Amino acid sequence: MVLLPARRGTAVRVKAGDVIRVVNTHGSQVVDTWAFVEGTDEFMSMEHTRVCLRKLSPSVGDGLFSNRRRLLLTLTADDTDGGHDTLCAACDPQRYELLGCLEPHDNCTDNLRTAMAQLEVRYRETPCPFNLFMSIRIEPGGVMIWSPPLCKKAGDSVTLRAETDLVLAFSCCPMDVAGNPINGNQPVRDCELLIYDALGRLRDER
Ligand SMILES: [Zn+2]
């Protein structure tokens, strides 16, 4: 098991065929998720995924595609009813400044940078994340409503299969600004990652 610590980022290398289960341990936490093809400028792209799928959010059986329209991951299981956000940029220092935070605030963009630096993986910029468990309701007229997370209960998970070798990165989003319900109006909390190889054996380490 790999802990995804509250407010922090984590990056792992996975192989083609690995199965990655992201567990929402407490059922209230958004997990920003990225995938990169190491040594290239190719990354999981929400813009390209939406076009490939012709929908706003992948369902079980759907792929997640790169900025070169290549299949990188498949969503193989989901305890929620789906609808994970693909629209919102990762939070960053400016986002919190604009929300009125007077002090520096943990943020997913910095978390990605720190996590990728720990693996010494370079990337050019922060792609739009696949925001697991994050619910943005779209109202008539296209108005976006930030809503509580999609989990039905603690321990709900989303499972992805790597279709190629990847570096995956995750951030337990530290959004805790009053009035923003994306983390269920709960404290920012840990999640967990379970990684199985193609033979179904659980990997214990990064
Ligand atoms: Zn965030």
| Per-residue pLDDT reduced to its tens digit, 5-40 | 999 999 999 999 999 999 999 999 999 999 999 999
Cβ burial of 121 (10 Å; 0-12, 13-18, 19+) is middle
- Would you state the pLDDT for residue 204? 73
Say how many Å lie between the CA of residue 94 and the centre of ligand 1.
12
Within 10 angstroms of residue 201's Cβ, the number of other Cβ atoms is 9
Say how many Å lie between the CA of residue 175 and the centre of ligand 1.
6
* Tokens found for residue 31: 């997990």
Domain chopping of the chain, boundaries? 28-188
**pTM, full prediction:** 0.96
- Position 92, amino acid: D
pLDDT surpassing 70 at residue 206? no
pLDDT surpassing 60 at residue 196? yes
Say how many Å lie between the CA of residue 57 and the centre of ligand 1.
18
Number of alpha carbons in the 13 Å side-chain half-sphere of residue 83: 14
- Would you state the pLDDT for residue 203? 87
Say how many Å lie between the CA of residue 199 and the centre of ligand 1.
33
- Tell me the three state secondary structure of residue 64: strand
pLDDT band for position 205 (cuts 50, 70, 90): low
Q: What is the DSSP letter of 193?
A: E
- Would you state the pLDDT for residue 121? 98
Say how many Å lie between the CA of residue 91 and the centre of ligand 1.
4
Say how many Å lie between the CA of residue 128 and the centre of ligand 1.
11
Say how many Å lie between the CA of residue 190 and the centre of ligand 1.
14
pLDDT in tens, 70-129: 999 999 999 999 999 999 999 999 999 999 999 999 999 999 999 999 999 999 999 999
pLDDT in tens, 136-185: 999 999 999 999 999 989 999 999 999 999 999 999 999 999 999 999 99
Q: What is the DSSP letter of 174?
A: -
Say how many Å lie between the CA of residue 30 and the centre of ligand 1.
8
pLDDT in tens, 46-82: 999 999 999 999 999 999 999 999 999 999 999 999 9
The answer to whether 115 touches 11, Cβ cutoff 8 Å, is: yes
